Structure formats: structure tokens, C-alpha cells
Amino acid sequence: MLVVFIVWLYLARDNFDRRADNNVNWRKGWMIGGWLIPVANIVIPNRVVREIYVRSSPDRTWTSDRLVNAWWIALLVSFFTYTETATSSGGVTQVHTPTSVAAVTGGAGILAAILVAVIVRRVTTWQDATPAA
């Protein structure tokens, strides 16, 4: 699913070039590369999506990026993991994730999926309504 989102992100960014909008800070290479560079992938994808979201809005004078930030935080939380290991006296080792951790990360993943769907729908609608130059 991430690959589909990255392709959509690349195409959404490409729409600015097609409209001769050269004021975009993040170049097309960052649409893909930002996800692949270790440590930078914690920050760059959020900034890239935020710029596309804000610049696609028909009302650029006031477009809040809180939706993008909420999506990004939920996505990062969904990546956290924690496991516990217990070895019994018989030598059997059991590894499990506590239910509370699984519930939080699973809920964050669901929230991230819903929020990114809203972001994709809004940006697509906004860009479709903007006539090409």
C-alpha cells in the first residue's frame, strides 16, 4: 500500500510541474527518496506531504496542516513495537506483545489509514478542480 501512496504522491507533485508552478520546495526525487533515506525518513515524508497538501488547497491563505501532522504522528506511533520474552523452568521461551501495546499501535495504524485517505481525497479533489496552465 505504501508503494501506491508514493506513486500517488509523485503524481500529485508532478501536477505542479504540469501547471508551471515552479515555487515548490521539494523536487520530485524527494517524493520517493525521502522514504528511503534512513533517519531522514522520519521527517522528509511529512514535510513533502504537508507541502503538497497546503499548495494544493484552493485557499492558500489559510490551510491548516494539522491533518497531515496528525496522520504522520499516527503513522509513527503505529511503527512502535515492544515484545516480552519469558522462559519457563522447562526451557520453553515465549515471546509476545502486550495487548495494550498492540491495541495502541493497531489503533494508530487504523487512524493513520483513515487520515491518509482523507488527505489523498482532498488533494486529488483540489488538484482536479484547478485548471492546468
The 10s digit of each residue's pLDDT in 14-48 is 998 888 877 888 888 888 889 999 999 999 999 99
Whether 131 has a pLDDT exceeding 80, the answer reads no
CA dist., res. 125 & res. 130, Å (int):
9
Integer angstrom CA distances of residue 119 from 52, 53, 80, 131: 10, 7, 23, 20
